[in-house]
Amino acid sequence: MNRLVAFRDRQVEPAINTAFFAELLSGDPTTTAWRIAMTDDGQVSSGFWSATPAKWRMDYKVWEFCQILEGTCVITPEGGLPQEFGLGDTFVCEPGLCGTWEVTSSLRKAFVIRRI
């Protein structure tokens, strides 16, 4: 069994507009997720995600590593300062992160999620 997963070699059906945020605050986003790889137990998954401009309230229940591939977003943690992310930026959202996530220009990111 080959244990190396090259994203470029995988053709997967995307999930369109899968609900994932606590509350939509503005916009009418189109979201698309391509889950490319997952551990046998389903606890860790990785792939790509895209969204059109919108703003929503977030309440993270998972650990997520993100790398922005195109576009921009502003993440404002509850009680914290807004942080803008764009091309090449990487960050981790930890369980318990609450606040808002705003896609300011159509966004595409690579992700790795670990369910807690």
pTM of the model: 0.90
Q: In whole angstroms, what is the distance from residue 108 CA to residue 91 CA?
A: 14
Which of 59, 48, 69, 41 has its CA nearest to residue 98? 59
Domain assignment present for residue 87? The answer is: yes
| CATH number of domain containing 108 | 2.60.120.10
Domain assignment present for residue 1? The answer is: no
Domain assignment present for residue 88? The answer is: yes
Domain assignment present for residue 2? The answer is: no
How many domains would you assign to the chain? 1
Domain assignment present for residue 76? The answer is: yes
pLDDT at 21: 80
Q: Contact at 8 Å (CB) between 100 and 77?
A: no
Q: Domain range holding 72?
A: 7-115
Residue segments in the chain with a per-residue pLDDT below the cut of 50: none
